Chains A and B, each alone.
Chain A
Amino acid sequence: MGRYIIQRVLSAFPVLLIVTLISFCIMQLVPGDPAVVMAGPQATAVEIERVRVQLGLDQPFLQQLGKWLWGLTQGDLGQSILLGRSVSTAIAERLPTTLTLTVFSFILTLAIGIPFGIIAALKQNTWIDQTVMTVALIGVSLPNFWLALMLIILFSVMLDLLPAGGYVAISQGFWPWFKSLLLPSLSLGLLQMGLLARITRSTMLEILRQDYIRTARAKGLPAFKVVGKHALKNAMIPIVTVIGIIFSLLLTGSVVIETVYSLPGLGRLLATSIFSRDYPVIQGGLLLTASMFVGINLLVDVLYAFLDPRVRYD
Chain B
Amino acid sequence: MTETTGPTIFAERAAPLRKQKSTLQRLFEHRLFVTGLVLFALMVIMAVFADWIATHNPVQVRARFRFRAPDMDNFFGTDNFGRDIFTRVVYGARMSILIGFATVTFTAIIGTACGLIAGYFRRVDNVLMRVMDALMAFPTLVLALALAAALGPSAFNIVVALTTVYVPRTARIVRASVLVVRDADYVHAAHAVGASNLRIMLEHILPNSMAPLVVQLTFVFAYAVIAEAVFSFLGVGPPPPTPSWGNIIAEGKDYIREAAWITLFPGIAISMTVLGLNLLGDGLRDVLDPRMNVENR
Contacts and interface: CB of A to CB of B under 8 A. Distances in A.
A29 interface: yes
B249 A282 contact: no
B165 to A, nearest CB: 11
Interface string A156-189: 0100000000000000000000000000000000
Given A22-B134, A149-B263, A290-B138, A256 B234 contact: yes
Given A31-B151, A146-B229, A146-B270, A252 B142 contact: yes
A135 interface: no
Interface string B96-114: 0000000000000000000
Interface string B117-146: 000000000000011011101111111011
A289 B234 contact: no
B60 interface: no
B52 to A, nearest CB: 27
B59 interface: no
A274 B149 contact: yes
Contacts of B152: 31
Contacts, number: 138
A255 interface: yes
Interface string B260-297: 10011001001100110011000000000000011101
B293 A290 contact: no
B294 A274 contact: no
B233 interface: yes
Contacts of A142: 267, 271, 274
Nearest to A34: B150
Contact of B137 (A15, A141, A150, A249): A15
Residue from A203, A252, A275 having most chain B Cβ neighbours under 10 A: A252
Contacts of B257: 157
Contacts of B187: none
B78 to A, nearest CB: 18
Nearest to B263: A149
Residue from B134, B135, B139, B274 having most chain A Cβ neighbours under 10 A: B139
A271 interface: yes
B213 interface: no
A226 B148 CA distance: 51
B137 A290 contact: yes
Given A251-B142, A282-B146, A157 B274 contact: no
Interface in A221-252: 248-249, 251-252
Contacts of B270: 143, 146
Interface string A190-231: 000000000000110110010000000000000000000000
Interface in A10-69: 14-15, 18-19, 22, 26-27, 29-31
B40 to A, nearest CB: 12
B50 to A, nearest CB: 21
A137 B274 CA distance: 10
B256 A152 contact: yes
A274 B146 contact: yes
A248 B139 contact: yes
Interface in B242-259: 249, 253, 256-257
B235 interface: yes
Contacts of A141: 222, 271, 274-275, 278
B230 interface: yes
A187 to B, nearest CB: 12
B128 to A, nearest CB: 11
A260 B267 CA distance: 15
Given A202-B293, A255-B141, A279-B150, A274 B234 contact: yes
Given A15-B137, A18-B134, A286-B146, 10 more contacts: A19-B137, A22-B135, A31-B151, A202-B295, A255-B234, A274-B145, A274-B236, A282-B149, A290-B143, A297-B137
12 contacts: A15-B130, A18-B131, A27-B150, A31-B152, A142-B267, A146-B229, A153-B260, A202-B295, A270-B145, A274-B146, A286-B138, A289-B139
Q: Which 7 A-B pairs have the closest CB atoms?
A: A18-B134, A146-B267, A141-B275, A252-B139, A206-B294, A29-B150, A141-B274
Interface of A: 14-15, 18-19, 22, 26-27, 29-31, 137-138, 140-143, 145-146, 149-150, 152-153, 157, 202-203, 205-206, 209, 248-249, 251-252, 255-256, 259-260, 270-271, 274-275, 277, 279, 282, 285-286, 289-290, 293-294, 297
